[in-house]
Amino acid sequence: MTEEPDLQRRRFLFGTGQVSSQTAASPVACISPSCFAHMGIACMSCRDACSTGAVRFELALGGARPRIDTDQCNGCGDCIQACPADAIRLAPAETIS
């Protein structure tokens, strides 16, 4: 038995499928360089406030660095309120690299 290919995923990857307007317009969190963790200060307030687990920290030279899992982020803004450095904003997902 052969497994059928996931054509919807293939269309999306090669640009022949359409992304729903709700997904394309949904804002997600974006962390700026003014984040305390980027400056070597141990802070994980945004991670602790995130109910979906979208804020994750990766080990890096000098300490952990925050990363937003855009697939998990629902744009609720809880991390924005928790950030003591005002380093988080919401932006359209397609503008975040």
Is the predicted pLDDT of residue 11 greater than 80, yes or no?
A: no
User: Which residue type sits at 53?
Assistant: G
Residues 31-61: pLDDT tens digits? 999 999 999 999 999 999 999 999 999 999 8
47 CB burial (10 A radius; 0-12, 13-18, 19+): middle
Q: State which residues form the domain around 52.
A: 31-95
More confident residue, 9 or 27: 27
- Specify the pLDDT at position 5: 58
Residue 13 resides in a domain: no
Model's pTM, two decimal places? Answer: 0.68
Residue 14 resides in a domain: no
Look-up: residue for tokens 């269309």?
11
**Could you tell me the pLDDT band of residue 2, with boundaries at 50, 70 and 90?**
low
Number of domains in the chain: 1
Q: Could you tell me if 94 and 30 are in contact, meaning their C-beta atoms sit under 8 angstroms apart?
A: no
